[in-house]
Structure 1
Amino acid sequence: MARFNFRLPDIGEGISEAEIVAWHVKVGDRVEEDQQIADMMTDKATVEMESPVSGTVVELAGEVGDQVSIGSTLVVIEIDGEEEAAVEIEEETPGSAVAEPVAVVESVSHPELAAPAPVEAAPAAANNAERSAPKDEAHAAPHVLASPAVRARARDLGIDLAQVKPAEGDRVRHADLDAYLRYASGQGYLAPHASRARADEQVRVIGMRRRIAENMAAAKRHIPHFTYVDEIDVTELERVRADLNAMRGGRPKLTMLPLLIVAICRSLPQFPMLNARYDDEAGVVTRSGRVHLGMATQTDAGLTVPVIRDAQDRNVWQLAAEITRLADAARASRLKPEELGGGTITVTSLGPLGGIATTPVINRPEVAIIGPNKIVERPVFRGDDIVRAKLMNLSISCDHRVVDGWDAASYVQALRKLLETPVLLFAD
């Protein structure tokens, strides 16, 4: 037998190295062609690496958290088949695409709502499949859908993901691992009693958490933030939303978010300094003529931000459909590279968790981020009467280098007018 050097392909323009965030094999393991072997993270995305050959793993490039240069050996596999064929595969040009990064898993380059720049997947070597040994489907390891964080936790707990039944869809999540721990008593995986003390745990800051830490520090170090919060009466807006949902037919159910996005897009043309990106090294602010709106989405691995392109051209139903599509893709780790990055302003919300007010961190190089908070029902004065009203605080954080406090406050007042008089959202 001969050995095949699986070199890390170029998984993004301008990328010189990638971090190992998860190994799915170890030395001595048998791997099949197309079996997932590792998850690699760059500054822009995380991609799943699959083996282009069948064989036995004899060497790994490093441990989780280590950096691997593009073109250097990631895994050495003792391959099946004739030696001549094996040598021919091994002689691929260093740095060439010997395997295709099959899927963008997740992407966070910002402390709260990162929206990294797109990354191009390297094409697979067209003849790898022909030159490698035949794949034995009967013995191929089942491919279980799960994020790198879930895989790492399962590996630490000694859980075979193939034995875990997802409660929803076909993707294993942390909640599924918790359920497995509670009920798999026959294997000794009982959840600890709530009152028992737990041992201290050291967790390496790697992968997405490392990117979050680095970019949070960079955002706070470079950007002088200020946050403005105002209260908005959304009683009428909630009534309009209920009416629209009653007549929606087969269209997706409206949440507050698509209505808020319509209001954001309608009010931004008067405040172009907010819909912008600031290159502080070049000293240039680019005011965008289009609204590419980043949308926070919670996934098992953390927050990621798909971008709604040209949000200003979409009506409320189109926005609702796009929000649903992008959120589902993010949670399933199936966002395309072009659906990430290039945002001009971001919206972040804690959803049902709500909160009185938030001070969101700006998604650098953007200059503003908007955070709607929980809707609460309270008595308010209307003239001499006391009535029930639905109220929501709205937060906006801005880069004080390019946005003045007066501009931020004026923008929220314009936004408030649209949200408190929702008929204006649908007026030409």
Structure 2
Amino acid sequence: MAQVLEFKLPDLGEGLTEAEIVRWLVKVGDVVAVDQPVVEVETAKAMVEVPCPYGGVVTARFGEEGAELPVGAPLLTVAVGAPATESEGSGNVLVGYGTQAPAARRRRVRAGAAGADGKPQPLRTAAAAPPARGTAPAAAQQPAPPPAPGSAGGPVPVISPLVRKLARDNGVDLRRLAGSGPDGLILRADVESALRAGTAGTPVAGEPVVRAAPTAAPPAGAGVRIPLKGVRGAVADKLSRSRREIPDATCWVDADATELMRARTAMNTAGGPKISLLALLARVCTAALARFPELNSFVDTEAREVVRLDHVHLGFAAQTERGLVVPVVRDAHARDAESLTAEFARLTEAARAGTLTPGELTGGTFTLNNYGVFGVDGSTPIINHPEAAMLGVGRIVPKPWVHEGELAVRQVVQLSLTFDHRVCDGGTAGGFLRYVADCVEQPAVLLRTL
């Protein structure tokens, strides 16, 4: 006899708590095999295809394309041919993540999420662990009523972990709020209304509970609201955190890049794979970091320690249709110019296609930002938290320049270094930037470190 198994959105790792459904790869009635991808989702890190650990017939889908689901929410149900348990899945939902559910807990799925037939589904809770022997199935149990606002114990019903984080970061005590969502569910609008009303803080005994008013619709002509979610939302959160936590400073210098451009031309006319300018700049960066290791580090704020790293995982800024991403070249210090060129090309193509994995977008120790491709000369970039520095490279353009005592037209570039002032002082940062400029002006300087 067939048994219907529920497949939940798995833990995607890297601290991700929710994902947006981009495209369903199966429909109700389709037969799926074990580990067959069933849905494409976009997280704050990348787009990934989620495979189902069960084989059988799809009986229901939860959520339409464009809907956001928290980790642990039902994705679909599958009728399998023989009795099985959730632990009998393949264990291969995502490479490196698996299918094992976290500790038992209950999650809410938004009311009104459309099912496979397009009809709104009622608010439900999904248990993350099978019911104990002798108890009714989870589908037959009534969801526990949310605790009364202001109560001292019990979980506070919040629609999303991001809403809970918003409240925590701004000092809003959720127990003071009575949410405007179904069954008192606290929505993002409730927290934002509380912030506007100045109701954040610790509740006082006997004080009336604040009920957040629903957000009023914007007047006509007030503009278009674009949600900060997915990659764009993740970038916004990371940049905001960098500004809050890192006391950054920027220094810059103009450099004559004529000899570097000639060296690249000579390399590419000698045969073999073409060498990119970004790869040469990356090679300069790794050489400079070997001389100034203070800038290849991060600050452990809890331990109040600066952690210097013995490897360089080089991030580089890449603009895509979904926003700015920073792919990471692993062990850049151990690569030559040809290897760096090939890896930059591979990661750039994956970024544009939206197929970068979470591992390819995290773990950087230093970032190279070539904003010259946008036709600008200079910038003061925001450090990619928790790194300690970022090298910015402007466009290379012909300019009047004094060369060997005479005025000449040379290929000039502006270089900037934004650094965390906690890890070093201006002398170290200036020394790093001057060494980079010397390598750009006289590529033979690199021979000292090869």
Q: TM-score range by the shorter chain?
A: 0.5 to 0.7
5+ unaligned residues in a row in structure 1: which ranges? 103-119, 126-197
Q: Which residue in the other structure is 2:284 paired with?
A: 263
Once the two structures are superposed, what CA deviation does each residue of 1:261-300 show, in whole Å capped at 9, x if it has no partner?
2211222222121111211222121112222211222333
Equivalent positions of 1:309-324 (< 5 A) are 309-324=330-345
Q: Which residue in the other structure is 2:352 paired with?
A: 331
Aligned equivalents of 1:101 and 1:263: distance in 2? 36
5+ unaligned residues in a row in structure 2: which ranges? 102-220
Aligned equivalents of 2:402 and 2:237: distance in 1? 47
Aligned equivalents of 2:29 and 2:232: distance in 1? 30
Equivalent positions of 1:1-400 (< 5 A) are 3-12=4-13, 15=15, 18-25=17-24, 29-33=28-32, 34-39=36-41, 41=43, 45-51=46-52, 52-53=54-55, 55-56=57-58, 58-60=60-62, 64=66, 66-70=68-72, 72-77=73-78, 79=79, 82=81, 85=82, 88-89=83-84, 91-93=85-87, 100-101=93-94, 120-122=96-98, 201-249=224-272, 251=273, 253-382=274-403, 385-400=406-421
SS at match of 1:281: coil
SS at match of 1:356: coil
Change (3 A) 1:244 1:226: same
TM-score by length of 2: 0.64
Look up the equivalent residue of 2:324 and give its one-letter code: L
Look up the equivalent residue of 2:247 and give its one-letter code: P
Shift, 1:7, TM fit: 1.9
Once the two structures are superposed, what CA deviation does each residue of 1:25-59 show, in whole Å capped at 9, x if it has no partner?
49985444235324152x65543224444545535
Asked if 1 retains the 8 angstrom alpha-carbon contact of 2:23 and 2:65, the reply is: no
SS at match of 2:17: strand
Residues paired across the two proteins, number: 325
Look up the equivalent residue of 1:60 and give its one-letter code: F
Change (3 A) 1:269 1:26: closer
SS at match of 1:240: helix
SS at match of 2:299: strand
Change (3 A) 1:267 1:58: closer
SS at match of 1:230: strand
Aligned equivalents of 1:392 and 1:361: distance in 2? 20
The structure having more radius of gyration, on CA atoms, is 2
Change (3 A) 1:98 1:274: closer
Change (3 A) 1:98 1:200: farther
CA RMSD of aligned residues (A): 3.2
Look up the equivalent residue of 1:217 and give its one-letter code: S
Aligned equivalents of 1:12 and 1:121: distance in 2? 6
Once the two structures are superposed, what CA deviation does each residue of 1:65-123 show, in whole Å capped at 9, x if it has no partner?
644233x423235x4x75xx3xx24x3149x7666237xxxxxxxxxxxxxxxxx2326
Once the two structures are superposed, what CA deviation does each residue of 1:116-160 show, in whole Å capped at 9, x if it has no partner?
xxxx232699xxxxxxxxxxxxxxxxxxxxxxxxxxxxxxxxxxx
Aligned equivalents of 1:241 and 1:331: distance in 2? 26
Asked if 1 retains the 8 angstrom alpha-carbon contact of 2:247 and 2:420, the reply is: yes
Look up the equivalent residue of 1:326 and give its one-letter code: L
Change (3 A) 1:294 1:4: same
Asked if 2 retains the 8 angstrom alpha-carbon contact of 1:19 and 1:40, the reply is: no
Q: Which residue in the other structure is 2:115 paired with?
A: none
Shift, 1:346, TM fit: 0.8
Aligned equivalents of 1:293 and 1:98: distance in 2? 32
- Name the % identity: 33
Shift, 1:413, TM fit: 0.8
**Pairing partner for 2:432 from 397, 411, 420:** 411
